Amino acid sequence: MSLLASLLGCDGNIGSVEPAEVEPPPYEPEPGPLRRLAAHEYQHTIEDLFGDMVVPPASLPSDERPGGEFGLIAVGVSTFALSGSGARSYEEAAYSVAEQAMAAEGRDAFIGCTPGGVTDDACVDQFVRTFGRRAWRRPLTSEERTRIVGIANDAAVRLDDFHGGLEFAIAYLLQSPYFLYRAEVGTPSETHPGWHELSDWEIATRLSYLLWSGPPDDALLDATAAGELSTTEGIEAQVHRMLENEEKTRRGIRAFFDDMLLLERLLNPELVAKDPEQFLHYNADVPPSAREETLRFVEDIFLRDADYGEMFTGRRTFIDRTLASVYAVPAPSREGFGLYEIPEDSHRRGILGQLSLLMGHSNKTTSSATKRGAYLRRVLMCQPIPPPPPDIETTLPTASDAPTLRQRVARHLEEPVCAGCHNLMDPLGLSLENFDAIGRFRTTENGAPIDASGYLDGRDFEDTPGLGRALAASETTSRCLVRTMYRYGTGHAERPNETAILRDLHDRFLESGRSVQTLIIALATSDGFRLVAPPDEVIATDVEGSEVSE
């Protein structure tokens, strides 16, 4: 059985996904994906297009994570086909948005002209020209505009209402694949024969959804129309301009880490439910607050352009009254979230001390070294862990036989059937054992003292802060962020032929002092961001990317 575990990859060699010191194969691009807007991207897009005129619809097709619960939604949206009910959801959403927009105050300012009658070709065409470019993220062809003006006029005549007609035109635009999907086909490259270069419009869309989790603004569209995205310098200039829009940049970085850190599970009460009788501090407000804390935490690292290592060692976090109660500290703010500097002598460090990890990856009544360890390995270190063999006995000894979790999971680590995988997960998870199932600090479990010591990459440590220092010092975590950002930005799991790009991005990330801002700029200006394989050479991709070795 240990042979099987080894074959599955659970040989306990945690360095197996570390980069080999060999020259990577020459870079070759992968085909550009056809990406559906994820639900949050759809909502952000509606917000940007309509502002306060419209309440974005909440009922949208759900987004799935490829390869189980640990894949990126950003990859899943190009992996899974849209169902019939999903298409109907988009149709309903389009009509809902269009109806709200045309019923809202200020609709004429939104349209940009005052109609001269029930039909007004010039006014409709002007609207379709400007709004259509923003919605489809490219200029509409004259044929497309003519078709949409016709739709608006037909409906207006039937309804005897100019705005009623325009409602249908808007609904048409919002149901179109050009709105719902991000096609990244490109055109044959002159400088890279056999490959395609994304069009400037496709690059603009990639940029805006990477940086802002939303559509290009008029400035980006204008720059694109002016050909400014045809050069690396032009792209970089736009990235710098976009990063200065703090509101949208916050939204973008939150969306990225929301996806990477699996934070949406905190909005699903069933996934993170705890026993309220056992945990007096737990209530329905805790999980959403825990998600918000982590989002504000990563947002802060990004906006300060701080070292990504703070992800594991940082003592600046943001908590509200609900989280302060769980952390047993005074709330820093009477309303909402406030900055909280974690004391030096506290065991909480970075995300390792946050409830999004500690509570979000525990059982209902007990902590889980396995779940926490798996999260660290898979999400923050990008190391695959195969599922357990079928029909395996997973019952742990009772607390009366073994008061601490370290004692109870010892069986995992001793039995060959279990040890291969559990040696990857449990030792890391056990270093978080000073935090119970809802993330409250503790020094004992069932009356016995907790031993939170562990090791990683040859480093021994005594407690959670020690684990944080080890993770921050490990290139595994920085490579993982690079890899995840690459997947997020390009919409596919990297393959071995992209290793050279990843290695270059990682080098630049390290040179910058692990600046996530620099990583984004480096990604946006890399060949991997603007080159794709021709669409007729589509190869089935492994969305988990587990076969990749750098």
447 is a contact residue toward another protein (CB under 8 A): no
Q: How far apart are CA 274 and CA 535, in angstroms?
A: 48
Q: Closest CB to another protein among 171 and 438?
A: 438
Q: Pick from 104, 113, 331, 410 the residue near another protein by CB under 8 A.
A: 331
Give a three-class secondary structure readout of 72-119: CHHHHCCCCCCCHHHHHHHHHHHHHHHHHHHHCCCHHHHHCCCCCCCC
Does the footprint of another protein cover residue 367 (CB under 8 A)? no
Nearer to another protein (CB atom), residue 208 or residue 322: 322
Q: How far is CA 278 from CA 270, 274, 365, in A?
A: 17, 8, 7
Return the amino acid letter for 67.
G
| Shortest Cβ 399–another protein spacing (Å) | 22
289 binds another protein (CB under 8 A): no
Beta strands in 378-532, from DSSP E residues, in sequence order = 444-445, 448-449, 454-456, 459-461, 531-532
Q: Does 285 bind another protein (CB under 8 A)?
A: yes
The reply on whether position 345 binds another protein by CB under 8 A is no
With CB under 8 A as the contact rule, the residue among 147, 281, 411, 495 that binds another protein is 281
**Closest distance of CB 203 from another protein, Å:** 48
Q: How many residues does the chain have?
A: 550
Nearer to another protein, 347 or 378 (CB): 347
Q: Using an 8 Å Cβ cutoff, are 408 and 397 in contact? A: yes
Beta bridge partners of 307: 515
CA 185 to chain centre: 23
* Contacts for 506 with CB less than 8 Å, ≥ 6 apart: 475, 478, 479, 482
Residue type, 456: L
Torsion over CA: 276, 280, 284, 289 (sign):
negative
**Choices 216-224, 324-332, 426-434, 528-536; region in contact with another protein by CB under 8 A:** 324-332
Contact characters 302-321, another protein, x per CB under 8 A: -------------------x
- Total residues in contact with another protein, by rule CB under 8 A: 18
Specify the stretch interacting with another protein by CB under 8 A; choose among 95-103, 117-125, 172-180, 323-331: 323-331
Which residue in 173, 326, 456, 482 binds another protein (CB under 8 A)?
Answer: 326
Q: Are 302 and 253 in contact (CB under 8 A)?
A: yes
Site track for another protein across 240-279, x = CB under 8 A: ------------------------------------xx--
The answer to whether residue 443 forms part of the interface with another protein (CB under 8 A) is no
What is the signed CA dihedral for 77, 181, 481, 7, rounded to 10 degrees?
30
Where along the sequence are the contacts to another protein (CB under 8 A)? 276-277, 280-281, 283, 285, 321-322, 324-332, 334
